[in-house]
Chain A
Amino acid sequence: MEKIVQEKYVQLENVNMTFFTKKGTFEALKNVNFSIREGEFISIIGHSGCGKSTVLNLIAGLLQPTDGNLFCAGREIAGPGPERAVVFQNHSLLPWLTCSENVYLAVERVFGATDTKDQLKKRTQAAIELVGLAHAADKRPNEISGGMKQRVGIARALAMEPKVLLLDEPFGALDALTRAHLQDELMTIMAKSGCTAVMVTHDVDEAVLLSDRIVMMTNGPAATIGDILDVELARPRKRLELAEDGHYNHLRSEVLKFLYERHAKKAA
Protein backbone atom coordinates (compact mmCIF):
# COMPACT_ATOMS: atom_id res chain seq x y z
CA MET A 1 0.00 0.00 0.00
CA GLU A 2 1.41 3.34 -0.99
CA LYS A 3 1.64 6.09 1.56
CA ILE A 4 -0.64 9.02 0.87
CA VAL A 5 1.49 12.09 0.33
CA GLN A 6 0.09 15.12 2.06
CA GLU A 7 -0.03 18.03 -0.33
CA LYS A 8 -0.04 20.63 2.41
CA TYR A 9 2.30 19.12 4.94
CA VAL A 10 3.66 22.44 6.11
CA GLN A 11 1.39 25.37 5.57
CA LEU A 12 1.77 29.11 6.08
CA GLU A 13 -1.45 31.12 5.96
CA ASN A 14 -1.44 34.93 5.79
CA VAL A 15 1.59 35.09 8.03
CA ASN A 16 2.63 38.55 9.20
CA MET A 17 5.64 39.20 11.35
CA THR A 18 6.27 42.52 13.03
CA PHE A 19 9.18 43.02 15.39
CA PHE A 20 8.76 45.41 18.29
CA THR A 21 12.11 46.89 19.13
CA LYS A 22 13.33 49.84 21.15
CA LYS A 23 13.59 51.87 17.96
CA GLY A 24 9.97 51.16 17.06
CA THR A 25 8.09 48.53 15.14
CA PHE A 26 9.50 46.81 12.09
CA GLU A 27 7.21 44.94 9.74
CA ALA A 28 9.44 42.15 8.44
CA LEU A 29 6.94 39.84 6.72
CA LYS A 30 3.56 40.62 5.25
CA ASN A 31 1.05 38.13 3.96
CA VAL A 32 3.29 35.14 3.46
CA ASN A 33 1.38 32.21 1.99
CA PHE A 34 2.77 28.91 0.80
CA SER A 35 2.62 25.24 1.53
CA ILE A 36 5.08 22.38 1.29
CA ARG A 37 4.35 18.88 0.12
CA GLU A 38 5.46 15.95 2.24
CA GLY A 39 8.96 14.87 1.22
CA GLU A 40 9.55 18.01 -0.80
CA PHE A 41 12.79 20.00 -0.75
CA ILE A 42 12.11 23.73 -0.71
CA SER A 43 14.64 26.55 -0.93
CA ILE A 44 13.92 30.05 0.24
CA ILE A 45 16.04 32.58 -1.61
CA GLY A 46 16.17 36.35 -1.38
CA HIS A 47 18.48 39.23 -0.69
CA SER A 48 20.14 39.51 2.68
CA GLY A 49 17.84 40.93 5.35
CA CYS A 50 14.61 40.21 3.50
CA GLY A 51 13.29 37.84 6.14
CA LYS A 52 14.36 34.34 5.08
CA SER A 53 15.58 33.36 8.53
CA THR A 54 12.42 34.81 10.01
CA VAL A 55 10.29 32.48 7.86
CA LEU A 56 12.44 29.52 8.89
CA ASN A 57 12.31 30.43 12.57
CA LEU A 58 8.54 30.73 12.32
CA ILE A 59 8.31 27.19 10.95
CA ALA A 60 10.76 26.03 13.62
CA GLY A 61 8.52 27.59 16.25
CA LEU A 62 11.32 29.78 17.59
CA LEU A 63 9.21 32.82 16.64
CA GLN A 64 5.48 33.34 16.89
CA PRO A 65 3.76 35.22 14.05
CA THR A 66 2.04 38.49 14.89
CA ASP A 67 -0.74 37.43 12.58
CA GLY A 68 -1.69 34.35 10.56
CA ASN A 69 -1.33 30.64 11.08
CA LEU A 70 1.32 27.99 10.58
CA PHE A 71 0.59 24.29 10.42
CA CYS A 72 2.75 21.19 10.32
CA ALA A 73 1.23 17.77 9.66
CA GLY A 74 -2.22 19.23 10.20
CA ARG A 75 -1.44 20.73 13.57
CA GLU A 76 -0.82 24.34 14.48
CA ILE A 77 2.81 25.11 15.22
CA ALA A 78 2.80 26.25 18.83
CA GLY A 79 6.52 26.20 19.59
CA PRO A 80 9.76 24.43 18.78
CA GLY A 81 9.72 20.68 18.70
CA PRO A 82 12.04 17.83 17.75
CA GLU A 83 9.85 16.84 14.78
CA ARG A 84 11.13 20.06 13.15
CA ALA A 85 14.90 19.85 13.48
CA VAL A 86 17.04 22.87 12.68
CA VAL A 87 20.53 23.02 11.18
CA PHE A 88 21.77 26.41 12.26
CA GLN A 89 23.87 28.69 10.10
CA ASN A 90 26.73 28.80 12.59
CA HIS A 91 26.36 25.09 13.47
CA SER A 92 25.61 25.97 17.14
CA LEU A 93 27.42 22.95 18.51
CA LEU A 94 28.12 23.02 22.21
CA PRO A 95 31.89 23.51 22.37
CA TRP A 96 32.35 21.59 25.62
CA LEU A 97 30.83 18.40 24.20
CA THR A 98 32.43 16.07 21.67
CA CYS A 99 30.77 15.58 18.29
CA SER A 100 29.07 12.39 19.38
CA GLU A 101 28.02 13.92 22.70
CA ASN A 102 26.43 16.79 20.80
CA VAL A 103 24.45 14.32 18.72
CA TYR A 104 23.68 12.16 21.74
CA LEU A 105 22.06 15.11 23.53
CA ALA A 106 19.50 15.30 20.73
CA VAL A 107 19.03 11.53 20.42
CA GLU A 108 18.56 11.13 24.15
CA ARG A 109 15.90 13.82 24.19
CA VAL A 110 13.87 12.31 21.35
CA PHE A 111 14.26 8.59 21.97
CA GLY A 112 15.32 8.49 25.63
CA ALA A 113 11.87 7.42 26.76
CA THR A 114 11.54 4.49 24.37
CA ASP A 115 15.07 3.24 23.67
CA THR A 116 17.72 1.61 25.83
CA LYS A 117 21.05 3.30 26.37
CA ASP A 118 22.65 0.92 23.89
CA GLN A 119 20.14 1.79 21.22
CA LEU A 120 20.68 5.50 21.85
CA LYS A 121 24.41 5.06 21.38
CA LYS A 122 23.84 3.10 18.18
CA ARG A 123 21.60 5.83 16.81
CA THR A 124 24.25 8.42 17.62
CA GLN A 125 26.93 6.38 15.93
CA ALA A 126 24.77 5.79 12.89
CA ALA A 127 24.09 9.50 12.49
CA ILE A 128 27.79 10.33 12.79
CA GLU A 129 28.64 7.66 10.22
CA LEU A 130 25.93 8.93 7.89
CA VAL A 131 27.78 12.25 7.56
CA GLY A 132 31.13 10.47 7.31
CA LEU A 133 32.60 11.61 10.60
CA ALA A 134 33.24 8.32 12.41
CA HIS A 135 36.91 9.24 12.76
CA ALA A 136 36.12 12.55 14.50
CA ALA A 137 33.34 11.34 16.80
CA ASP A 138 35.33 12.01 19.96
CA LYS A 139 36.74 15.37 18.93
CA ARG A 140 35.50 18.69 20.24
CA PRO A 141 34.02 21.20 17.78
CA ASN A 142 37.05 23.50 18.02
CA GLU A 143 39.29 20.66 16.88
CA ILE A 144 37.54 20.12 13.55
CA SER A 145 37.06 22.19 10.39
CA GLY A 146 34.06 24.34 9.55
CA GLY A 147 32.74 21.78 7.08
CA MET A 148 32.98 19.02 9.66
CA LYS A 149 31.16 21.13 12.24
CA GLN A 150 28.35 21.71 9.78
CA ARG A 151 28.18 17.95 9.20
CA VAL A 152 27.82 17.35 12.91
CA GLY A 153 25.01 19.90 12.92
CA ILE A 154 23.32 17.95 10.12
CA ALA A 155 23.93 14.65 11.94
CA ARG A 156 22.41 16.07 15.09
CA ALA A 157 19.31 17.19 13.21
CA LEU A 158 18.93 13.93 11.24
CA ALA A 159 19.47 11.75 14.31
CA MET A 160 16.23 13.14 15.71
CA GLU A 161 14.43 11.58 12.73
CA PRO A 162 12.51 14.80 12.15
CA LYS A 163 9.50 15.13 9.92
CA VAL A 164 10.80 18.43 8.64
CA LEU A 165 14.44 19.43 8.36
CA LEU A 166 15.04 23.17 8.51
CA LEU A 167 18.38 24.48 7.28
CA ASP A 168 19.41 28.13 7.63
CA GLU A 169 22.18 28.85 5.11
CA PRO A 170 23.83 25.61 6.17
CA PHE A 171 26.82 25.98 3.86
CA GLY A 172 27.07 29.77 3.83
CA ALA A 173 30.30 29.94 5.78
CA LEU A 174 32.15 27.24 3.85
CA ASP A 175 34.58 27.44 0.96
CA ALA A 176 33.25 26.57 -2.50
CA LEU A 177 34.76 23.07 -2.68
CA THR A 178 33.60 21.96 0.73
CA ARG A 179 30.21 23.44 -0.01
CA ALA A 180 29.82 21.50 -3.24
CA HIS A 181 30.86 18.32 -1.47
CA LEU A 182 28.36 18.77 1.33
CA GLN A 183 25.59 19.69 -1.10
CA ASP A 184 26.11 16.38 -2.90
CA GLU A 185 26.07 14.51 0.40
CA LEU A 186 22.95 16.29 1.55
CA MET A 187 21.20 15.27 -1.69
CA THR A 188 22.10 11.62 -1.10
CA ILE A 189 21.03 11.75 2.53
CA MET A 190 17.74 13.44 1.73
CA ALA A 191 16.99 10.88 -0.98
CA LYS A 192 17.52 8.13 1.58
CA SER A 193 15.58 9.65 4.46
CA GLY A 194 12.76 11.10 2.38
CA CYS A 195 12.03 13.80 4.92
CA THR A 196 10.67 17.22 4.07
CA ALA A 197 13.23 20.01 3.99
CA VAL A 198 13.25 23.79 3.94
CA MET A 199 16.58 25.43 3.23
CA VAL A 200 17.38 29.11 3.36
CA THR A 201 20.09 30.15 0.95
CA HIS A 202 21.39 33.08 -1.04
CA ASP A 203 23.26 30.85 -3.47
CA VAL A 204 21.39 30.50 -6.77
CA ASP A 205 23.21 27.32 -7.88
CA GLU A 206 22.63 25.67 -4.54
CA ALA A 207 18.92 26.46 -4.71
CA VAL A 208 18.46 25.06 -8.21
CA LEU A 209 20.62 22.01 -7.61
CA LEU A 210 18.93 20.87 -4.40
CA SER A 211 15.32 22.00 -4.57
CA ASP A 212 12.03 20.74 -5.90
CA ARG A 213 10.73 24.28 -5.65
CA ILE A 214 12.35 27.64 -5.02
CA VAL A 215 10.47 30.23 -2.99
CA MET A 216 11.73 33.66 -4.00
CA MET A 217 11.19 36.49 -1.58
CA THR A 218 10.83 40.20 -2.29
CA ASN A 219 12.91 42.73 -0.42
CA GLY A 220 11.87 43.96 2.99
CA PRO A 221 10.40 45.67 4.84
CA ALA A 222 7.06 43.90 4.55
CA ALA A 223 8.66 41.19 2.46
CA THR A 224 6.52 38.49 0.94
CA ILE A 225 6.69 35.67 -1.60
CA GLY A 226 7.51 37.15 -4.99
CA ASP A 227 7.37 33.96 -7.00
CA ILE A 228 7.70 30.23 -6.67
CA LEU A 229 9.75 28.35 -9.25
CA ASP A 230 9.23 24.65 -9.99
CA VAL A 231 12.49 22.83 -10.54
CA GLU A 232 11.58 19.91 -12.76
CA LEU A 233 14.96 18.24 -12.96
CA ALA A 234 15.20 14.49 -12.67
CA ARG A 235 16.90 13.01 -9.62
CA PRO A 236 19.51 11.93 -8.84
CA ARG A 237 21.11 15.13 -10.02
CA LYS A 238 24.76 15.42 -11.00
CA ARG A 239 26.28 18.85 -10.86
CA LEU A 240 28.62 18.27 -13.81
CA GLU A 241 25.87 17.06 -16.11
CA LEU A 242 23.58 19.87 -15.03
CA ALA A 243 26.18 22.49 -15.87
CA GLU A 244 25.58 21.68 -19.56
CA ASP A 245 21.85 21.17 -19.17
CA GLY A 246 19.72 23.78 -20.97
CA HIS A 247 16.79 23.55 -18.58
CA TYR A 248 19.05 23.89 -15.58
CA ASN A 249 20.57 27.04 -17.00
CA HIS A 250 17.15 28.38 -17.82
CA LEU A 251 15.98 27.88 -14.22
CA ARG A 252 19.16 29.44 -12.98
CA SER A 253 18.65 32.54 -15.08
CA GLU A 254 15.02 32.75 -13.91
CA VAL A 255 16.19 33.03 -10.32
CA LEU A 256 18.93 35.47 -11.27
CA LYS A 257 16.41 37.63 -13.14
CA PHE A 258 14.14 37.65 -10.13
CA LEU A 259 16.94 38.68 -7.82
CA TYR A 260 18.77 41.19 -10.00
CA GLU A 261 16.11 42.60 -12.31
CA ARG A 262 12.68 42.37 -10.78
CA HIS A 263 13.73 42.75 -7.15
CA ALA A 264 17.19 44.20 -7.35
CA LYS A 265 18.48 45.39 -4.03
CA LYS A 266 19.28 49.07 -3.98
CA ALA A 267 22.81 49.76 -2.89
CA ALA A 268 22.82 50.57 0.79
Chain B
Amino acid sequence: MSAIGISKEDIKTIMNNEQTVASNPVASPKAAAKKAARPAVAKRPSALALKMRAFFQWLLPPIFGLLLMGAVWTLISHQSPNLPGPVSTWHSAVELFSDPFYTNSPNDQGIGWNILASLERVGLGFGLAALIGIPLGFIIGRFQFMSRMAAPIIGILRPVSPLAWLPIGLLVFKAANPAAIWVIFISAIWPMIINTAVGVSKVPQDYMNVAKVLNLSEWKIVTKILFPFVLPYMMTGVRLSIGVAWLVIVAAEMLTGGVGIGFWVWDEWNNLNVEHIIIAIFVVGIVGLLLELALTSLARRFSYE
Protein backbone atom coordinates (compact mmCIF):
# COMPACT_ATOMS: atom_id res chain seq x y z
CA MET B 1 0.00 0.00 0.00
CA SER B 2 2.63 2.50 1.07
CA ALA B 3 4.72 1.64 -1.98
CA ILE B 4 1.90 2.75 -4.22
CA GLY B 5 1.63 6.02 -2.32
CA ILE B 6 5.30 6.69 -2.73
CA SER B 7 5.25 5.96 -6.44
CA LYS B 8 2.33 8.34 -6.91
CA GLU B 9 4.26 11.04 -5.10
CA ASP B 10 7.21 10.30 -7.32
CA ILE B 11 5.12 10.71 -10.41
CA LYS B 12 3.85 14.04 -9.13
CA THR B 13 7.35 15.34 -8.50
CA ILE B 14 8.44 14.17 -11.89
CA MET B 15 5.50 15.87 -13.51
CA ASN B 16 6.18 19.07 -11.64
CA ASN B 17 9.78 18.89 -12.71
CA GLU B 18 8.81 18.48 -16.30
CA GLN B 19 6.46 21.39 -16.10
CA THR B 20 9.14 23.60 -14.69
CA VAL B 21 11.58 22.46 -17.32
CA ALA B 22 9.09 23.00 -20.08
CA SER B 23 7.91 26.39 -18.83
CA ASN B 24 11.39 27.86 -18.52
CA PRO B 25 12.04 28.85 -22.13
CA VAL B 26 8.40 29.79 -22.69
CA ALA B 27 8.35 32.11 -19.69
CA SER B 28 11.22 34.25 -20.87
CA PRO B 29 11.49 34.29 -24.63
CA LYS B 30 12.78 37.85 -24.52
CA ALA B 31 15.55 36.95 -22.16
CA ALA B 32 16.54 34.10 -24.42
CA ALA B 33 16.58 36.41 -27.42
CA LYS B 34 18.78 38.86 -25.55
CA LYS B 35 21.18 36.08 -24.68
CA ALA B 36 21.37 35.00 -28.29
CA ALA B 37 21.99 38.57 -29.42
CA ARG B 38 24.93 38.93 -27.10
CA PRO B 39 28.19 37.36 -28.21
CA ALA B 40 27.64 34.14 -26.25
CA VAL B 41 29.82 32.09 -28.60
CA ALA B 42 32.02 30.84 -25.81
CA LYS B 43 29.07 29.25 -24.04
CA ARG B 44 27.91 27.13 -26.95
CA PRO B 45 29.98 23.94 -27.35
CA SER B 46 31.78 23.72 -30.66
CA ALA B 47 30.89 21.18 -33.34
CA LEU B 48 34.00 19.19 -32.52
CA ALA B 49 33.09 19.02 -28.84
CA LEU B 50 29.60 17.86 -29.71
CA LYS B 51 31.03 15.17 -31.96
CA MET B 52 33.40 14.02 -29.25
CA ARG B 53 30.53 13.81 -26.80
CA ALA B 54 28.42 11.79 -29.22
CA PHE B 55 31.38 9.50 -29.83
CA PHE B 56 31.89 8.80 -26.15
CA GLN B 57 28.19 8.29 -25.61
CA TRP B 58 28.35 5.75 -28.37
CA LEU B 59 31.48 4.08 -27.04
CA LEU B 60 30.78 3.98 -23.30
CA PRO B 61 27.97 1.39 -23.05
CA PRO B 62 29.85 -1.40 -24.84
CA ILE B 63 32.91 -0.67 -22.73
CA PHE B 64 30.83 -0.90 -19.58
CA GLY B 65 29.46 -4.19 -20.86
CA LEU B 66 32.92 -5.61 -21.37
CA LEU B 67 34.07 -4.35 -17.96
CA LEU B 68 31.02 -5.96 -16.36
CA MET B 69 31.85 -9.25 -18.04
CA GLY B 70 35.41 -9.02 -16.78
CA ALA B 71 34.19 -8.23 -13.27
CA VAL B 72 31.82 -11.20 -13.16
CA TRP B 73 34.57 -13.43 -14.52
CA THR B 74 37.05 -12.22 -11.86
CA LEU B 75 34.48 -12.79 -9.13
CA ILE B 76 33.75 -16.33 -10.25
CA SER B 77 37.44 -17.16 -10.68
CA HIS B 78 38.04 -16.04 -7.08
CA GLN B 79 35.36 -18.43 -5.87
CA SER B 80 36.51 -21.37 -7.95
CA PRO B 81 40.27 -22.00 -7.81
CA ASN B 82 40.31 -24.13 -10.99
CA LEU B 83 39.10 -21.28 -13.15
CA PRO B 84 41.81 -18.81 -14.17
CA GLY B 85 40.98 -15.10 -13.94
CA PRO B 86 41.35 -12.47 -16.65
CA VAL B 87 44.91 -11.56 -15.72
CA SER B 88 46.45 -15.02 -15.93
CA THR B 89 44.45 -15.70 -19.10
CA TRP B 90 45.80 -12.51 -20.62
CA HIS B 91 49.39 -13.49 -19.90
CA SER B 92 48.78 -16.89 -21.38
CA ALA B 93 47.21 -15.33 -24.47
CA VAL B 94 50.15 -12.99 -25.01
CA GLU B 95 52.46 -15.97 -24.89
CA LEU B 96 50.24 -18.01 -27.20
CA PHE B 97 49.88 -15.29 -29.82
CA SER B 98 53.55 -14.37 -29.79
CA ASP B 99 54.15 -17.45 -31.98
CA PRO B 100 50.90 -18.42 -33.67
CA PHE B 101 52.37 -20.23 -36.68
CA TYR B 102 54.72 -22.91 -35.36
CA THR B 103 54.58 -26.57 -36.33
CA ASN B 104 56.10 -29.14 -33.98
CA SER B 105 54.16 -32.15 -35.15
CA PRO B 106 50.92 -32.71 -37.08
CA ASN B 107 49.08 -32.65 -33.75
CA ASP B 108 50.99 -29.75 -32.21
CA GLN B 109 50.66 -26.57 -34.29
CA GLY B 110 50.25 -22.89 -33.47
CA ILE B 111 46.87 -21.32 -32.78
CA GLY B 112 47.04 -19.48 -36.11
CA TRP B 113 47.21 -22.73 -38.04
CA ASN B 114 44.30 -24.10 -36.05
CA ILE B 115 42.12 -21.07 -36.78
CA LEU B 116 43.03 -21.17 -40.45
CA ALA B 117 42.27 -24.89 -40.69
CA SER B 118 38.82 -24.31 -39.20
CA LEU B 119 38.17 -21.34 -41.48
CA GLU B 120 39.15 -23.41 -44.47
CA ARG B 121 36.66 -26.15 -43.56
CA VAL B 122 33.93 -23.59 -42.94
CA GLY B 123 34.76 -21.83 -46.21
CA LEU B 124 34.55 -25.07 -48.20
CA GLY B 125 31.39 -26.39 -46.59
CA PHE B 126 29.71 -23.02 -46.63
CA GLY B 127 30.80 -22.27 -50.20
CA LEU B 128 29.39 -25.56 -51.45
CA ALA B 129 26.18 -24.92 -49.54
CA ALA B 130 25.84 -21.47 -51.16
CA LEU B 131 26.61 -22.88 -54.60
CA ILE B 132 23.82 -25.42 -54.29
CA GLY B 133 21.44 -23.78 -51.82
CA ILE B 134 20.95 -20.41 -53.52
CA PRO B 135 19.98 -21.75 -56.97
CA LEU B 136 17.78 -24.34 -55.23
CA GLY B 137 16.10 -21.52 -53.33
CA PHE B 138 15.40 -19.69 -56.60
CA ILE B 139 13.85 -22.78 -58.16
CA ILE B 140 11.76 -23.56 -55.08
CA GLY B 141 10.57 -19.96 -54.81
CA ARG B 142 9.76 -19.63 -58.49
CA PHE B 143 7.80 -22.80 -59.10
CA GLN B 144 4.87 -23.82 -56.93
CA PHE B 145 5.37 -27.49 -57.82
CA MET B 146 8.99 -27.44 -56.67
CA SER B 147 8.06 -25.68 -53.47
CA ARG B 148 5.45 -28.33 -52.64
CA MET B 149 7.95 -31.03 -53.53
CA ALA B 150 10.71 -29.59 -51.38
CA ALA B 151 8.50 -28.85 -48.38
CA PRO B 152 8.54 -32.35 -46.80
CA ILE B 153 12.26 -32.84 -47.48
CA ILE B 154 13.20 -29.53 -45.88
CA GLY B 155 10.66 -30.04 -43.11
CA ILE B 156 12.16 -33.37 -42.05
CA LEU B 157 15.86 -32.72 -42.61
CA ARG B 158 16.24 -29.17 -41.31
CA PRO B 159 15.52 -29.79 -37.61
CA VAL B 160 18.17 -32.55 -37.46
CA SER B 161 21.07 -31.58 -35.23
CA PRO B 162 24.12 -30.95 -37.45
CA LEU B 163 26.31 -33.45 -35.63
CA ALA B 164 23.87 -36.24 -36.35
CA TRP B 165 25.12 -36.02 -39.94
CA LEU B 166 28.72 -36.73 -38.93
CA PRO B 167 28.47 -40.56 -38.93
CA ILE B 168 26.94 -40.46 -42.40
CA GLY B 169 29.81 -38.29 -43.58
CA LEU B 170 32.42 -40.57 -42.02
CA LEU B 171 30.71 -43.56 -43.57
CA VAL B 172 30.51 -42.10 -47.06
CA PHE B 173 33.84 -40.25 -47.23
CA LYS B 174 35.83 -42.60 -44.98
CA ALA B 175 37.90 -39.62 -43.76
CA ALA B 176 37.54 -37.05 -41.00
CA ASN B 177 38.18 -33.87 -42.97
CA PRO B 178 35.54 -34.31 -45.70
CA ALA B 179 33.12 -35.53 -43.04
CA ALA B 180 33.57 -32.26 -41.11
CA ILE B 181 33.07 -30.26 -44.33
CA TRP B 182 29.96 -32.30 -45.06
CA VAL B 183 28.53 -31.43 -41.63
CA ILE B 184 29.13 -27.73 -42.31
CA PHE B 185 27.56 -28.07 -45.73
CA ILE B 186 24.40 -29.76 -44.52
CA SER B 187 23.87 -27.38 -41.61
CA ALA B 188 24.61 -24.22 -43.62
CA ILE B 189 22.45 -25.01 -46.62
CA TRP B 190 18.99 -24.63 -45.05
CA PRO B 191 19.00 -20.92 -44.20
CA MET B 192 20.19 -20.13 -47.72
CA ILE B 193 17.57 -22.28 -49.44
CA ILE B 194 14.76 -21.01 -47.25
CA ASN B 195 15.62 -17.32 -47.26
CA THR B 196 16.22 -17.26 -51.00
CA ALA B 197 12.93 -19.05 -51.64
CA VAL B 198 11.05 -16.69 -49.32
CA GLY B 199 12.57 -13.72 -51.13
CA VAL B 200 11.56 -15.05 -54.54
CA SER B 201 8.01 -15.73 -53.37
CA LYS B 202 7.77 -12.16 -52.06
CA VAL B 203 8.58 -10.45 -55.37
CA PRO B 204 5.71 -7.96 -55.80
CA GLN B 205 3.07 -8.93 -58.35
CA ASP B 206 3.59 -5.49 -59.94
CA TYR B 207 7.11 -6.38 -61.00
CA MET B 208 5.95 -9.70 -62.37
CA ASN B 209 3.21 -7.88 -64.29
CA VAL B 210 5.88 -5.67 -65.82
CA ALA B 211 7.75 -8.81 -66.83
CA LYS B 212 4.57 -10.24 -68.35
CA VAL B 213 3.66 -7.10 -70.30
CA LEU B 214 7.21 -6.83 -71.62
CA ASN B 215 7.26 -10.58 -72.34
CA LEU B 216 10.67 -10.84 -70.68
CA SER B 217 12.60 -14.07 -71.08
CA GLU B 218 13.13 -16.25 -68.01
CA TRP B 219 16.80 -15.22 -68.03
CA LYS B 220 15.89 -11.51 -67.98
CA ILE B 221 13.31 -12.12 -65.27
CA VAL B 222 15.93 -13.78 -63.09
CA THR B 223 18.72 -11.27 -63.72
CA LYS B 224 16.74 -8.02 -63.87
CA ILE B 225 13.89 -8.65 -61.43
CA LEU B 226 14.28 -11.70 -59.19
CA PHE B 227 17.97 -11.48 -58.39
CA PRO B 228 18.11 -7.79 -57.39
CA PHE B 229 14.94 -8.13 -55.35
CA VAL B 230 15.99 -11.34 -53.62
CA LEU B 231 19.56 -10.24 -52.87
CA PRO B 232 18.82 -8.81 -49.40
CA TYR B 233 16.90 -11.97 -48.43
CA MET B 234 19.70 -14.07 -49.80
CA MET B 235 22.28 -12.14 -47.78
CA THR B 236 20.23 -12.74 -44.63
CA GLY B 237 20.38 -16.45 -45.42
CA VAL B 238 24.10 -16.26 -46.04
CA ARG B 239 24.66 -14.48 -42.73
CA LEU B 240 22.61 -17.02 -40.79
CA SER B 241 24.44 -19.81 -42.59
CA ILE B 242 27.90 -18.60 -41.77
CA GLY B 243 26.83 -18.21 -38.14
CA VAL B 244 25.59 -21.79 -38.02
CA ALA B 245 28.67 -23.06 -39.84
CA TRP B 246 31.00 -21.42 -37.36
CA LEU B 247 28.94 -22.74 -34.44
CA VAL B 248 29.07 -26.27 -35.77
CA ILE B 249 32.74 -26.45 -36.76
CA VAL B 250 33.99 -26.40 -33.16
CA ALA B 251 31.79 -29.33 -32.18
CA ALA B 252 32.55 -31.25 -35.36
CA GLU B 253 36.28 -30.87 -34.95
CA MET B 254 36.12 -32.05 -31.35
CA LEU B 255 34.80 -35.31 -32.73
CA THR B 256 36.94 -35.64 -35.85
CA GLY B 257 40.32 -34.47 -34.52
CA GLY B 258 43.17 -33.17 -36.69
CA VAL B 259 44.11 -29.50 -36.86
CA GLY B 260 41.41 -26.97 -36.03
CA ILE B 261 40.20 -24.73 -33.26
CA GLY B 262 37.65 -27.31 -32.07
CA PHE B 263 40.22 -30.05 -31.79
CA TRP B 264 42.62 -27.62 -30.16
CA VAL B 265 40.07 -26.96 -27.39
CA TRP B 266 39.72 -30.69 -26.85
CA ASP B 267 43.49 -31.14 -26.78
CA GLU B 268 43.91 -28.35 -24.22
CA TRP B 269 41.19 -29.95 -22.11
CA ASN B 270 43.20 -33.17 -22.13
CA ASN B 271 46.25 -31.14 -21.08
CA LEU B 272 44.07 -29.42 -18.46
CA ASN B 273 45.21 -26.04 -19.77
CA VAL B 274 42.10 -24.07 -18.80
CA GLU B 275 43.60 -20.69 -19.81
CA HIS B 276 43.87 -21.93 -23.37
CA ILE B 277 40.28 -23.17 -23.34
CA ILE B 278 39.08 -19.72 -22.29
CA ILE B 279 41.28 -18.14 -24.95
CA ALA B 280 39.73 -20.50 -27.49
CA ILE B 281 36.25 -19.38 -26.44
CA PHE B 282 37.23 -15.77 -27.09
CA VAL B 283 38.90 -16.64 -30.37
CA VAL B 284 35.82 -18.50 -31.59
CA GLY B 285 33.58 -15.64 -30.53
CA ILE B 286 35.71 -12.92 -32.09
CA VAL B 287 36.20 -14.77 -35.38
CA GLY B 288 32.44 -15.40 -35.54
CA LEU B 289 31.78 -11.73 -34.90
CA LEU B 290 34.23 -10.70 -37.62
CA LEU B 291 32.62 -13.07 -40.13
CA GLU B 292 29.22 -11.63 -39.30
CA LEU B 293 30.47 -8.04 -39.62
CA ALA B 294 32.17 -8.77 -42.92
CA LEU B 295 29.01 -10.26 -44.39
CA THR B 296 26.81 -7.49 -43.04
CA SER B 297 28.93 -4.85 -44.73
CA LEU B 298 28.96 -6.95 -47.92
CA ALA B 299 25.18 -7.18 -47.78
CA ARG B 300 24.89 -3.42 -47.37
CA ARG B 301 27.12 -2.91 -50.40
CA PHE B 302 24.89 -5.08 -52.57
CA SER B 303 21.57 -3.67 -51.41
CA TYR B 304 19.99 -1.36 -53.97
CA GLU B 305 18.40 0.97 -51.41
Closest chain B residue to A92 by CB distance?
Answer: B206
CA of A61 to CA of B212, assembled, Å: 9
- A94, CB-defined interface residue at 8 Å: yes
- A74, CB-defined interface residue at 8 Å: no
Given known pairs A94-B207, A95-B304, the reply for A86 and B224 (CB within 8 Å) is: no
Q: How many A-B residue pairs have CB under 8 A?
A: 51
B224 touches A81 (CB 8 A): no
CA of A140 to CA of B216, assembled, Å: 21
CA of A62 to CA of B215, assembled, Å: 11
Tell which of B207, B209, B220, B229 has the most Cβ of chain A within 10 Å: B209
Residues of A near B210 (CB, < 8 A) are 88, 92, 94
CA of A85 to CA of B209, assembled, Å: 11
Q: Mark A108-122, 1 if CB is under 8 A from B, else 0.
A: 011000000000000
CA of A80 to CA of B225, assembled, Å: 18
Residues of A near B224 (CB, < 8 A) are 94, 97, 105
A80 touches B304 (CB 8 A): no
**A window 163-189: CB within 8 A of B:** none
A95 touches B305 (CB 8 A): yes
CA of A61 to CA of B209, assembled, Å: 10
A94 touches B225 (CB 8 A): yes
B228 touches A86 (CB 8 A): no
CA of A82 to CA of B211, assembled, Å: 10
- A193, CB-defined interface residue at 8 Å: no
- B37, CB-defined interface residue at 8 Å: no
Residues of B near A90 (CB, < 8 A) are 206
Residues of A near B214 (CB, < 8 A) are 82, 105-106, 109-110, 160
Tell which of B207, B220, B224 has the most Cβ of chain A within 10 Å: B224
- A142, CB-defined interface residue at 8 Å: yes
Residues of B near A109 (CB, < 8 A) are 214-216, 220
Residues of B near A110 (CB, < 8 A) are 214
- A20, CB-defined interface residue at 8 Å: no
- B213, CB-defined interface residue at 8 Å: yes
B215 touches A96 (CB 8 A): no
Q: B305 is contacted by which of A85, A86, A142, A160 (Cβ under 8 Å)?
A: A142
CA of A162 to CA of B187, assembled, Å: 51
Given known pairs A62-B209, A88-B209, A142-B305, the reply for A94 and B228 (CB within 8 Å) is: yes
CA of A85 to CA of B214, assembled, Å: 8
CA of A61 to CA of B215, assembled, Å: 11
A96 touches B209 (CB 8 A): no
Residues of B near A105 (CB, < 8 A) are 214, 216, 220, 224
CA of A60 to CA of B210, assembled, Å: 11
B225 vs chain A, min Cβ distance (A) = 7
A92 touches B207 (CB 8 A): yes
A96 touches B228 (CB 8 A): yes
B residues lining the A interface (CB < 8 Å): 206-207, 209-210, 212-216, 220, 224-225, 228-229, 304-305
A residues lining the B interface (CB < 8 Å): 60-62, 79-82, 84-86, 88, 90, 92, 94-97, 105-106, 109-110, 140, 142, 160
Subset of 10 A-B contacts with CB under 8 Å: A61-B212, A80-B213, A80-B215, A84-B213, A88-B210, A90-B206, A92-B209, A94-B224, A96-B229, A105-B216
Q: Which 5 A-B pairs have the closest CB atoms?
A: A96-B304, A96-B228, A92-B206, A80-B212, A80-B213
